[in-house]
Amino acid sequence: MSKKILSIFISIFTLMLFVTSSQAQIGKVSGGSEHEMPGWFKESFLDLAEDVEEAKDSNKHVILFMSLDFCPYCTKMLNDNFVLSAKNQKYIQNNFDVIGINIKGSRELVINEDTTMTEKEYANFLKVKYTPTIIFLNKKNEVVVRLNGYRSEETFKLVLDFVKNEEYKNMSLSQYLDKVKNKTLYTLKTNKMFKDIKDLSKVKGPLAVIFEDGSCTQCDYLHNVTLKNKDVQKELSKVTVVRLDAMSKEKITSPDGTRTTPYEWTKQIKLDYRPGVLLFDEGKEKARIDALLYSFHFKEMIRYISGKYYKEYSTYLDYLGPRQDELLKQGLNIDLSDKI
């Protein structure tokens, strides 16, 4: 075999090894879960005005359950609240007509006599950033409550009561929850990452403000799982973290210099999810976490702010796709759920 042929053979063999090695290094995504809409959900022709009228005749409201394929939060929400074995299922079925919407779907929705769009277009119109997003429509085909992301069985039942009893005519959801929620479910926990700062306007650089209170059903999860994740801890080490009791009337100064209290602040910004997280940089709110996020999505949300990626990507979702591709190409695996 001539040296030239041998050299060509070695080059081809080396290239094959490189390609094989590169393919082997591509990471994998796990933790997504398939789900189906429960069989008792309404078989709708997606004419929402007509659906609302039919629900009205049965003295019901309409719920739009907006989901995404392989969404672990959608699966959890369905399993905890909507499947036949769920505690809230009968109550929901008796008082609401539930319609499943795929936010990437191509089915046509008739919103009203003047507006028609696809499922995907409707999700974009609503600026859906979490799945599931749950929309409650009143008997005039108006949105009266919107929930971004997962809600626990206990919290969701309170929201169901709020809509079913038409309390939205008298007060906001935040006001209602303050009135009826059990404030002794949870005792606020300490964490060495939390800084005791009363004047947030003096914080330089990225800031995470966590709001908890005694009614929080997801705060134990935040402390016992999310904040113990080493990747989350690494990202949070790059920001100033302050935890506030959302029911507190103690005076503080917000990042924009406003004198307020945690209680007044959450009402003013309509943050009713606990633990809610406001994310600031350069003194301005850049994003917020107002739904359950598992560790991967939580730490990437923090990185979106701490790394100033909001300057390149206008939304977290715009950032997330390229970021996932980047990690997979580095051979890193991504777990969308928390295996506990």
At 304, which CATH number? 3.40.30.10
> Is 216 among the domain residues?
yes
Q: Do β-strands 240-245 and 252-253 pair in parallel, antiparallel, or remain unpaired? A: unpaired
Torsion angle in degrees (nearest 10) through CA of 218, 219, 224, 230: 100
Residues 315, 9 contacting (CB under 8 angstroms): no
End-to-end CA distance of the chain: 59
> Is 6 among the domain residues?
no
> Is 144 among the domain residues?
yes
218 and 161, same domain (yes or no): no
> Is 182 among the domain residues?
no
Q: Given a cut of 80, is residue 340 above it in pLDDT?
A: no
pLDDT of residue 81: 98
Q: Which of 300, 278, 311 is nearest to 200 (CA)?
A: 278
156 and 262, same domain (yes or no): no
Domain extent for 273 = 200-335
159 and 227, same domain (yes or no): no
The strand ranges marked E within the chain are 29-30, 61-67, 96-102, 108-112, 115-118, 133-137, 143-148, 207-212, 240-245, 252-253, 259-260, 276-281, 284-289, 334-335
Hunting for tokens 């939390």 — which residue is that?
194
Q: Given a cut of 90, is residue 15 above it in pLDDT?
A: no
151 and 255, same domain (yes or no): no
pLDDT band at 11 (very low <50, low <70, confident <90, very high): low
pLDDT tens for each residue of 180-217: 988 888 999 999 999 999 999 999 999 999 999 999 99
89 and 133, same domain (yes or no): yes
Count the helices and strands in the chain (H runs, E runs).
12, 14
> Is 165 among the domain residues?
yes
Q: Given a cut of 90, is residue 324 above it in pLDDT?
A: yes
Q: Does pTM surpass 0.75?
A: yes
Hunting for tokens 């994310």 — which residue is that?
279
pLDDT tens for each residue of 106-164: 999 999 889 999 999 999 999 998 999 999 999 999 999 999 999 999 999 999 999 99
> Is 66 among the domain residues?
yes
pLDDT band at 24 (very low <50, low <70, confident <90, very high): low
Specify the higher pLDDT residue, 17 or 337.
337
205 and 308, same domain (yes or no): yes
What Cα–Cα distance (Å) separates residue 213 from each residue in 65, 178, 247? 27, 11, 6
Q: Given a cut of 60, is residue 241 above it in pLDDT?
A: yes
Q: Which of 306, 302, 292 is nearest to 336 (CA)?
A: 292
Give the length of the chain. Answer: 340
> Is 10 among the domain residues?
no
